[in-house]
Structure formats: C-alpha cells, structure tokens
Amino acid sequence: MLAFFSRSILLGIITAVVLLVAIPELRHKVFTAPDSLSTVETSQSQMSFNYAVRRASPAVVNIYNRRYNAEDRLKLSTQGLGSGVIMSDKGYIVTNYHVVAEADQVIVALQDGRFFTAQLIGKDRRTDIAVLKIQADNLPVIPLNPNYQPAVGDVVLAIGNPYNLGQTTTYGIISATGRSGMSFGRQDFLQTDAAINDGNSGGALVNARGELVGINTASFQQATDIETYGISFAIPYELTHKIMQKLIADGRVIRGYIGIDGRDINPVMARLYDADQISGIIVMGMDPEGPAAKSGFKIQDILVEIDGRPVTDKRNVLDIVTEIRPGSTVEMKILRNGEPKILSVLVSDEPNGY
C-alpha cells in the first residue's frame, strides 16, 4: 500500500514538472499569484470621510456660555456649552440662539488652541440662530457650496463638542427635508440620523466633501421630550446664510407682518366657497389692529396672490410676507364670494419680534 501511494505521488510530481516545462505561462501564474492577490487587496481603498472632516473641522469651534453669579455680581461662571461655525474670515460665527440666549459673556475656543471673547452681533429665536464675532487673524472658514441642494439619502457628518468631550464627528444620512412645526421654531429643518447631543448645538452638518449643509440644532427628544434615537435636526445652510446676513445688517431679523390667520384651501373647499381657484388660504382670523384688517380684509376671504406672486398655502404666505420690508405697500388679490378684489396693504413690522 505504501509503495502504491509513493508511486502515485512521484507520478504526480513528474507530471507537474513536465507541464511546467512544456507550458511556461503556468510557471508565471503559479509563482506570482500571491503577489497579484496582495496587489488586489491593497488597491481597494478603505471607505473614509477623513478628507471631509479635515476640511471642515478646523472651522467648528467650542462655545462656552458664562453668566454672572447671583451671589457675586463680579464673578462669572460657565453655565452652558455648545458649538459654532466660522462663516467668514472677518470673524463671523454662527451658532444656535439657545446656546447664547442667556449668556453674559461668550467664550469661543478654536481647534488650534486659541481662545476669544466673542461679541454678540444678533440673535433670532424663531430660527434658533445667533451670530457672534471675534477679532482674530488666519481664521479657518467652513467650506461653502451655495449650489448644493440637500437630498434624502445624502451622507452627512455632524461635527461639534458633545458633553464638552472635545470635538467629535458623527455619521449618518439626511433622512428627510422640509420638516416644520417643531416646538422650537417654524422654519423647515433637515432631518438626519447623525447623532446630535448636548454640546453639538450650533455645530456643522457637512456633506462628504466637507461643505456646510446646515447648523445642528436639536434632537427630536430635546424638541418634544419623547425618548427616541436616530432623529435629529439641522437648520439648512440657505436659511442660515439669509438670517446671518440680516443679523449682521440690522442686529435682528426684521420681518413683515399683515396680521391674518388662515387655513389652506383645497379643491373641495374651493367649490364650497364658490371659487374656481384651487390654491390659496382662507382667512379664518385677524389681528383687529393689524395691516390686513385696516386694509379691508374680511373673515372667509380667500387670499390668492401677494405682490403678483401666487399663494399656495399658509407656509408660502408666511415666507412671502416675512420677506417684505415693513413700511412697504403691497397689492394682495383676494376672492370674496367668488369675486376677485385687489386690496392695498401697508406691511408693518412683526410685533414682539426677537
């Protein structure tokens, strides 16, 4: 039996040698296969967002909220923390309103180790945005891309200072856009499953290229007191930039106001109101001293056009009106008992503005 196996092995070796001599290509494949495999393995680049983090993270700062001690008015103590984003080389920093709303002093810590006392330029409670300014040179600025449009499924990174642990990056996707009606504001939010915790507020939400997508503002739990995971919100860059410019220019956001409360209209309601118009809002209430009441608006009027721009819903009316400079007179088209009318409205400043 042993002799049989020995002859079989010897025959196999002889056959292999003959084949290697007769077919040289086999020798190359046999001896180079391990190297080829190694080449394949090393050529596959590891998935990483290090480039995006390296581009964006230097522009994300730590913000410390300091207040005077109630027992000693000369003593400042740190009461809260958050994050901020350097938006320009002039030293303008965007953060959340709630991060600095009650602060007597704001300290900004850069990632390169520098510390500055910041000046509060302005704050807007409705959008939860505040603008600070520091006097410094060689500031890292967050990469911006005004042409980028956030879409559901886009990869995003949340950069901030959660729980004062130091700068931290979390990863996720945009899970929804246009979220509104949250308890902390009326604007449309980006929804993400990237973790946003205490201290992340005011930090940057960036895309895979490190470009600013939005300003982190809250988790769903912070907004609603509901225990949940994977639902966080950010203020879109477009809105952030617009509010920032208003705060820099005026120190506050000046919004137009006409003083009506309406309800969205659909085709069924339009027929009930004897109107062919299928978009607009029905006036359900008014400020008796507001611009709309003074201009002749009545309950159950259907507002269909503002300054030549068609009205689609309540949200659209709010967006159009708040952008109108107070003191401007604007023509508004309504339907009253099915008949069109044009009313001239003197837009006023929003009362009790922040």
* Numbered residues of the known binding site for substrate: 258-263
Q: With contact defined as beta carbons under 8 Å apart, do 207 and 154 qualify? A: yes
- pLDDT-derived band at 269 (thresholds 50, 70, 90) equals low
- Residue 349: beta bridge partners? 256
On whether the CB atoms of residues 300 and 275 are closer than 8 A, the answer is: no
How far apart (Å, rounded) are the C-alpha atoms in residues 253 and 267?
35
Q: What is the pLDDT of residue 123?
A: 94
pLDDT confidence bin for 185, thresholds 50/70/90: very low
Where residue 51 falls (left for φ over 0; alpha for ψ -120 to 50; beta otherwise) is: alpha
Q: How far apart are CA 278 and CA 296, in angstroms?
A: 23
- DSSP state at residue 162: G
| Helix H or strand E segment including 40 | helix 24-43
Query: Would you name the residues annotated as active-site residues?
Result: 98, 128, 201
Q: 256-349: which CATH topology?
A: Pdz3 Domain (2.30.42)
Known binding residues are 258-263
pLDDT for the residue numbered 13: 64
Count Cβ atoms within 10 A of the Cβ of residue 187 and give its class: 0-12 exposed, 13-18 middle, 19 or more buried. Answer: buried
Per-residue pLDDT tens digits for 98-108:
899 888 899 99
| DSSP-derived pairing of the beta strands 129-133 and 76-86 | unpaired
Q: Give the mean model confidence (pLDDT) for residues 164-185.
A: 76
- Equal fold, 155-236 vs 256-349: no
Pick the most confident of 45-54, 125-134, 319-328.
125-134
Contact predicate 283/262, CB 8 Å? yes
Over residues 13-49, the pLDDT tens digits come to 666 555 555 555 555 544 444 444 344 444 456 788 9
**Vertex 352 angle, CA 333 and 224, to 5°:** 95
> Which range in 17-31, 48-62, 78-92, 259-273 is most confidently predicted, on average pLDDT?
48-62
What pLDDT was estimated at residue 24?
56
* Nearest 10 degrees: Cα torsion 163, 171, 227, 218: 60
- pLDDT at residue 59, as a whole number: 97
Its pTM stands at 0.75
| Exposure class string for 140-174: b at 16+ Cβ within 10 A, else e | bebbeeeeeebeeebbbbbbbbbeeeebbbbebeb
Domain extents for the chain? Answer: 155-236, 256-349
Residue 216, pLDDT > 90, answer yes
68-88 mean pLDDT: 79
State mean pLDDT over 340-344.
93
Residue 291 has pLDDT above 90, yes or no: yes
Q: What is the pLDDT of residue 347?
A: 93
- Compute the average pLDDT of residues 310-335: 88
* Calpha distance 156→56 (Å, rounded): 12
Cβ pair 85, 39 in contact under 8 A: no
Please give the CATH topology (third level) of the domain spanning 155-236: Thrombin, subunit H (2.40.10)
Give me the pLDDT at residue 195, please: 86
Percent of the chain at pLDDT > 70 equals 75
Q: What is the mean pLDDT of residues 147-155?
A: 93
Question: For residue 60, which of 20, 111, 1 has the smallest C-alpha distance?
Answer: 111
Residue 80 has pLDDT above 90, yes or no: no
Q: Which residues contact 341 (CB under 8 A, 6 or more apart)?
A: 333, 334, 335
Backbone dihedral angles phi then psi of residue 232, each to the nearest 5 degrees: -135, 165
Contact 263, 327 (CB under 8 A): no
